[in-house]
Chains A and B, each alone.
Chain A
Amino acid sequence: MINRLSIKAFKEPSAERAAVQEQSRAGSATVASATNAVDLSQVNLDAATMERFFSLVSPVQASRVKLEAFVGFLQDHGILPHALRFSFDQQARLQKCAFIAQVGFGLDLGYDYHVHEYGAFSSFVGADFVQIVRRGAATRGAPMPAPFQAKRFVEAVAGREIGWLCVATVAIHEMRSCGKAALQSRVEATAVHYGRRLIRRVLDDMQDVLACPGGPGNTGERP
Chain B
Amino acid sequence: MTPGVLESLAPLNPALSIAGSLTSIAALGMAIFAIQRALAHATRMKREHAKNAASLRRTLDGCRGTISRILEMTDEVKYFRALDALSSTLTSTLARHELYVQGEARQSISDLSLLLLDAATHGHEESLRLLEGALAMVEMLLENIGAPKSRLGSAA
A and B interact physically: yes
- Residue ranges of A at the interface with B (Cβ–Cβ < 8 Å): 86-88, 91-92, 95, 114, 116-119, 121, 123-124, 126-131, 133, 162-163, 166, 193
On chain A, the residues within 8 Å of B107 by CB distance are 92, 118-119, 166, 193
Find out whether the CB atom of B136 lies under 8 angstroms from the CB atom of A86: yes
CA distance A118 to B104 in the complex (A): 9
CA distance A124 to B133 in the complex (A): 8
> Is B119 positioned at the interface, with any CB of A under 8 Å from its CB?
yes
Cross-chain pairs A/B with CB under 8 angstroms, 22 sampled:
A86-B136, A87-B143, A88-B144, A116-B110, A118-B107, A118-B111, A121-B110, A121-B111, A123-B114, A123-B115, A123-B133, A124-B118, A124-B130, A126-B111, A127-B115, A127-B129, A128-B129, A128-B133, A129-B133, A130-B132, A162-B104, A166-B107
Find out whether the CB atom of B115 lies under 8 angstroms from the CB atom of A126: yes
| Top 5 A-B residue pairs of the complex, sorted by shortest distance between their CB atoms | A127-B133, A118-B107, A123-B118, A88-B105, A126-B133
Residue with the highest number of chain A CB atoms closer than 10 Å, among B119, B133, B144: B133
The residue of chain A having its C-beta at the shortest distance from the C-beta of B135 within the complex is A130
Find out whether the CB atom of A130 lies under 8 angstroms from the CB atom of B104: no
Min CB distance A52 to B, Å, is 25
CA distance A44 to B139 in the complex (A): 48
Number of interface residues of B (CB under 8 A): 21
The residue of chain B having its C-beta at the shortest distance from the C-beta of A91 within the complex is B140
CA distance A86 to B132 in the complex (A): 12
> Is B108 positioned at the interface, with any CB of A under 8 Å from its CB?
yes
The residue of chain A having its C-beta at the shortest distance from the C-beta of B107 within the complex is A118
Find out whether the CB atom of A123 lies under 8 angstroms from the CB atom of B140: no
On chain A, the residues within 8 Å of B136 by CB distance are 86, 126, 130, 133
> Is B71 positioned at the interface, with any CB of A under 8 Å from its CB?
no
CA distance A91 to B26 in the complex (A): 58
On chain A, the residues within 8 Å of B104 by CB distance are 88, 92, 162-163
> Is B137 positioned at the interface, with any CB of A under 8 Å from its CB?
yes
Which single member of A118, A127, A129 contacts B110 (CB below 8 Å)?
A: A118
Find out whether the CB atom of A88 lies under 8 angstroms from the CB atom of B110: no
Known A92-B107, A162-B104, A166-B107; contact A130-B133, beta-carbon cutoff 8 A: yes
The residue of chain A having its C-beta at the shortest distance from the C-beta of B137 within the complex is A126
